[in-house]
Structure 1
Amino acid sequence: MFKFTTIMQKPDSLIFDMDGTLWDAVDTYAHSWNVMFEELGIDKTINREQLAGMVGWEGKKVIEVMMPEFEPEKRLEIYAQVNEKRKILIPQMGGILYDGVIEGLEALAEKYQLFILSNCAKGVIRQFIDWSGIDQHITDEIAYGINYMPKNHNIKLLVDKYDLKNPYYVGDTAGDGEQSRIAGIPYVFVSYGFGETDDYDLKFDDFPSLTNYFVNL
C-alpha cells in the first residue's frame, strides 16, 4: 500500500497539495473556463483531459499554454475573470473528494498540524475547505495566487510562521516532489492523482493507507 525509500524523522506537520491529492474538481474548473470564454466571445473550449494535464501548474504557465494568442496582460485579465466565475461555480458544483479524505484529515488532525498549499488562485483553497467542511482540521492554507511564488517558497513561509520542525509535503505530481526537495522537506507521493514520479520518500495508493501510516507512527 505504500513504499518507504529513506529513513526520515517523524513529522510534526503535514502540508497537503489540493487538486489530485484531496479532491478532483477538474470538471468544475473546465466549466468555469468554458463559460467565461463563451461570455467573452472567445472561440475556444477546453476539455477535462486537456485541463487535467495542467493540474499542479502555476497559473502563469497555465494561461501561457491555454491562451498563447493573447498578450500577457490580456491573459491575466481573462484569468482573473475565470477565477471570479469559479468562486460562483465551486459552491454549486464542488468536486469529487477522494475516498477517505474527510475521515483521514479528522484523524490526522488529532496528531499533526495540517496545512493546504496549492498552485491555485487566491480564495480557491478556502472555497474547498468550506465546501468539504474540513475547516476545523486545517491550521492554515496558502495559494499561489496570494503572492505568485512557487511552492518551495510558500512551504518555507508556513515553516517560519508556525515554527515547523519536520513538515512533510503530500502531493500527486513530479513538480510537487521537485518543490519539496528545493524546500528541503520529505515528499509523500499519492499515486491516485494526476501525475507520476519515481522521486519520493513515501508513496501511497489511497488516502486511508496514508492516514493509517501517519496515525500509527
Structure 2
Amino acid sequence: MDSIIFDLDGTLWDSRETVVLAWNKAIEQNDKIDHTLTKQHLKETMGLQMHEIMQKLFPHLNAEVHKELIQSCGEIEGDFLSERGGILYENLEEVLKALSEKYELYIVSNCQEGYIEAFYAYHGLDKYFRDFENPGRTGLSKGENIKLLMKRNGLEAPVYVGDTAGDQKAAEDAGIPFVYAKYGFGDVEKYDYAIERFDELLEIF
C-alpha cells in the first residue's frame, strides 16, 4: 500500500449542521419551494452526486430549477463552511498526521467544487493531503475520479476509506480495497476492512 484516499462526509467530518443552515437559506430565496430541510434529509442523500440529491429532495422540480438550486446552495454553503466548518471526527488531525508520515493522503468526494476547499480553509488540514478530486470539477463518477486521481499522482496501491455503499462501489470500480467507516452515515455489507472509530486506521495500517 502506498496511499490512502478518503471520502469526506461521514468519513472525515459531519458538516450537516452547517450545510442544512446554508441550504435552507438558499431555499428561502426560491419561491418554488415551501418547506425546509433537516439533518435527516441530508443524511439520506450522503454519497450521492448533487444532481441526484436534487432529484431525491425536490422530485417535483424540473432540471432547470435543480440547476439553479445547485448553484445557489453551493455558493452559500461554501461561505458558511469556510466561516463555521463542520464537526471533525474524534482524533482526526492526530491520526491524519501519523498516517501522512507513512502514506500519501488524498480526498475524493461526491461534492461540488469548493466544498473540499472549504473543509481545508476552516480546519487547516490541507497540509496532510497531496491532492483531491470531485465531480463538481470533473463531472465524473466517484470511481472514475478515484482512477483519475490515481493516474495523476502515479498511485499503484491505494485503499479507499468511506462510509456508504456508493463508496464501496467506487472503490470496486477503481479496483482498490475498501475500508468501511462504520461510524458514518451508510450501511455497507461488502468491504475489505472496517473501523468503528477513525483512529482504528492506525491499527490497520
- Tell me, yes or no, whether TM beats 0.5: yes
Per-residue deviation at 1:127? 0.9
Whole-Å separation in 2 of the counterparts to 1:66 and 1:147:
23
The alpha carbon displacement at 1:104 in A equals 0.6
1:48 to 36, 39, 56: 39
Match of 2:12 in 1: 22
**What are the superposed Cα offsets for residues 141-183 of structure 1, whole Å, 9 maximum, x if unpaired?**
1112112211110011111111111010000011100111111
1:42-99 superposed Cα distances (whole Å, 9 cap, x missing partner): 3121111111111111111101111222210221111111100011111222110000
Whole-angstrom CA distance in 1 between matches of 2:78 and 2:198: 27
TM-score, normalization by structure 1: 0.91
Match of 1:185 among 167, 172, 176: 176
| CA apart distance, 1:40 | 2.2
User: Which structure is higher in RCO with an 8 Å CA cutoff and minimum separation 6?
Assistant: 1
Answering whether residue 199 of structure 2 is matched by residue 205 of structure 1, we say no
% of aligned pairs identical? 38
SS of the residue 1:27 aligns to: helix
Counterparts of 2:78 and 2:142, CA distance in 1: 22
Alignment of 1:55-94 (within 5 A): 55-94=46-85
Mapping 1:107-146, distance limit 5 Å: 107-146=98-137
Long gaps (5+) in structure 1: 1-10
Partner amino acid, structure 2, of 1:121? Q
> Take 2:203 and 2:67, find their aligned partners in 1: how far apart are those partners?
42
User: Which letter does structure 2 place at the counterpart of 1:157?
Assistant: L
CA distance in 2, matches of 1:58, 1:135: 23
How many residue pairs get aligned? The number is 204
Give the CA deviation at 1:212.
3.3
Q: Any idea what SS the aligned residue of 1:165 has?
A: coil
TM-score normalised per structure 2: 0.96
Q: Counterpart of 2:9 in structure 1: which amino acid? A: D
Unaligned segments of structure 2, at least 5 residues: none
State the Cα RMSD in Å.
1.0
